[in-house]
Amino acid sequence: MPISVLVVDDSAFFRQQIVSMLKGHPELRVAGTASHGKEAVEQALKLKPDVITMDYEMPIMDGISAVREIMARQPTPILMFSSLTTSGARVTLDALDAGAVDYLPKFRESLSANERLKQQLIEKLIAVVKRGGKGQPLSGTTAERTAPVERAPARQPRLSPRPELIMVGTSTGGPVALQKFLTQLPAGFDIPLLLIQHMPAAFTGPFAERLNRQCRIRVVEAQNNMALEPGLALLAPGGQQMMLSSRERVKVLAGDDRLNYKPSVDLSFGSAAKYYGNRVLAIVMTGMGADGREGARMLKKVGAPVWTQGSDSCVIDGMPAAIRKEGMSDADIPLDSMAQVLLKAL
């Protein structure tokens, strides 16, 4: 049966744009629409759609409030539409905390000018439903966690030699995964970290600020020529590439337009293989696609360990699965256990 979609937006024009994007696709069916958050909750309970697209700024009830109530009463994968601004980034991060699984940029142009966005929307809707993805709100939200119960890892991985750098690559579902992982690292954690999350340029600054407030380690958005420091996590800026220029510093640059991702996990991992050899630990977490696979291949050639997030805890298991499929994962670890396993291995 086709995947049923509930479209929520206060703009009749934008609702029609989304309906037009989905109309005629053999795997999708628009089950209904809603013009504000309260109606979205009512329609979610009545229609029980497989997935929901959600606006933020709406009358009567805003999108974040609607996400919280839907996740509490009828847990459903929700994609947020957000403006590519600092304000839009903060709203999106709040929505992810509330249980939304992902986001897409807001647009007001004609459908013909947004073929790439149309393809992204369709791919995300299909992927989260086929994966069984549900929102995974953090502790303190009103919604319950709906992902499958995670099993403990079969064995405790070892790290020898001790890594001098930890790199984490993420995409869809990554903001929540990174938050859960990094907030469990203690003050005094003494290894530098590089974080590569697929995000637009306007989002990474607010995301780094949020993580820095929540974590006991320091988190900042990387800038060109910044130094690696113990217990400092550098987040790759959206729309750019982050590489190592030496064992001590990072290089931030525009990068090649032929690369699909900015930032690219492959590019960052590959530069670490050059400067750190087997003294880097790479961790690939939830995300669509296979970014990180070729970078992991370069790291494995120099003897570096690569860990993956366990399938059951991924919103989308594309990136970790690509590593596993090639036999390059040294440890497959549930998200809730990742920090604990890392600390024990160190």
| CATH, residue 303 | 3.40.50.180
How many domains does the chain contain in total? 2
**How, if at all, do strands 250-253 and 241-244 pair?**
antiparallel
Question: Which of 130, 149, 180 is at the close of a domain?
Answer: 130
| In-domain check, residue 176 | yes
pTM listed for this prediction: 0.89
* 291, 313, 317, 329: the active-site residue: 291
| Among 256-260, 263-267, 271-275, 288-292, the least confident range | 256-260
* Annotated active-site residue in 35, 65, 171, 271: 171
Question: Is residue 269 situated within a structural domain?
Answer: yes
Q: Does residue 189 sit in the same domain as residue 280?
A: yes
| Residue 292 Rama label (left phi>0; alpha psi -120 to 50; beta) | left
Q: Are residues 119 and 251 in the same domain?
A: no
Cα–Cα distance for residue pair 273/106, rounded to 1 Å: 37
Residue 46 is part of which domain span? 3-130
* 339 and 209 together in one domain: yes
Task: Considering the candidates 198, 266, 271, 313, report the single residue annotated as catalytic.
Answer: 198
Q: Is 36 a catalytic residue?
A: no
Residue 171 annotated among the catalytic residues of the structure: yes
C-alpha distances in Å from residue 82, one per residue of 10, 160, 167, 190:
13, 43, 28, 36
In a domain, 18, yes or no: yes
What CATH number is attached to the domain comprising 95? 3.40.50.2300
Would 140 be classed as within a structural domain?
A: no
User: Is the residue at 126 inside a domain?
Assistant: yes
Annotation marks residue 317 as catalytic:
no
Read off the pLDDT of residues 146-158 as tens digits, 9 standing for 90 and up: 344 445 555 789 8
Are 125 and 180 part of one and the same domain?
no
Span 46-94, pLDDT tens digits: 999 999 999 998 999 999 999 999 999 999 999 998 887 788 899 999 9
Residue 212 and residue 109 share a domain: no
Q: Which of 130, 151, 186 corresponds to the end of one domain?
A: 130
Residue 99 contacts residue 120 (beta carbons within 8 Å): no
d(CA 50, CA 132): 9
Residue 108 pLDDT: 58
pLDDT at residue number 143 = 31
